[in-house]
Amino acid sequence: MKLLVTGGAGYIGGVVTHALVAAGHQVTVVDDLSTGFADTVPDGAEFHRLEVHQVGQVLTPDAGFDGVLHFAAKIEVAESVARPDLYWNVNVGGTMALLAAVRAAGVPRLIFSSTGSMYDPRSVVAQPGGGFSKLDEDAVIRPANTYAATKLAVDLMLAGECEAFGLGAVSLRYFNASGAVGHLGERHNPESHLVPIVLQVASGQRDELMVYGDDYPTPDGTCVRDYIHVADLATAHLLALEAIKPGRHEVYNLGNGDGYSVRQVIDAAREVTGHPIPVKLAPRRPGDPAATVASSDKARRELGWHPARPALRDIVADAWAFHQSVG
């Protein structure tokens, strides 16, 4: 297919773009490089440095695109609370501009990079035999911040777009994307994700790791999250691309289905890196849920998707290899 990837110079978008090129698709990337990196774009992909609002300059009626994969967005939760205007403008306004171009060009399919953070974490409860209940696509939705609210808004926009105009769309709600694929890994600035922060401590870029709360109702008292390898996310996008149906909007959760605590991530990083990783305990942060774990049964059943690298140690090891390569 001839595909347009917005945000294809970012972390997840970059990994997916490489996978699309490797699968033989013709790929064009649009990214403003506000958080992405030009060296992420693979050889063989066409690149345009544009804001997502300007995507119509590339996605024209005569361009012949068969599909769009939409990653371009602002993603920092704290920033979204401080600058909601920015997040509504880019994440929602930018998507509105994209959808206008999609309609004008008659593009039949679209995949959206959504988030599992829009679910109400109170739906997750401890199970009598151990572990936690899992969030499926029918779980209660309750965005806790502007970032999650904008992602939900786009999901709702896509549902209407499919019903009114016959677009085929899939929203993939990721849980905690982690790991790396070769030279493609997390390079956020500032970094707010646990795995790369732990590795920054291991490499001496930070003195210690702040652990916010050790009194949660979890086995070791620290928060539990569902970590999914970025390579497995990429596979889901390729499968979803083939499964899209005209006039239908489908939503799929993507996670391992297993939760790992903050302490388990630290222990895995200590094992992988051989460094002690000093820890400093701090009070809980307001709004942090005790546990969020995904049910990806629908993706497994309908897309034939199965995580190939679900082990926490593998996720951390791949991220560490990338971290060492970029210093």
Which active-site residues does the annotation give? Answer: 147
The position carrying tokens 């995904």 is 294
Evaluate whether 177 touches 168 at the Cβ level (below 8 Å): no
The position carrying tokens 């391992």 is 256
Phi-psi region of 238 (alpha: psi -120 to 50; beta: other; left: phi over 0): alpha
Q: C-alpha distances in angstroms, 144 versus 118, 125, 150, 198, 294?
A: 7, 18, 11, 25, 17
Evaluate whether 280 touches 209 at the Cβ level (below 8 Å): yes
Determine the 3-state secondary structure of 260 from DSSP: strand
Q: In whole angstroms, what is the distance from residue 103 CA to residue 101 CA?
A: 5
User: Is the preceding omega at residue 190 within 30 degrees of 0, hence cis?
Assistant: yes
φ, ψ of residue 214 to 5 degrees: the values are: -130, 25
Q: C-alpha distances in angstroms, 303 versus 142, 174, 246, 313?
A: 26, 15, 16, 26
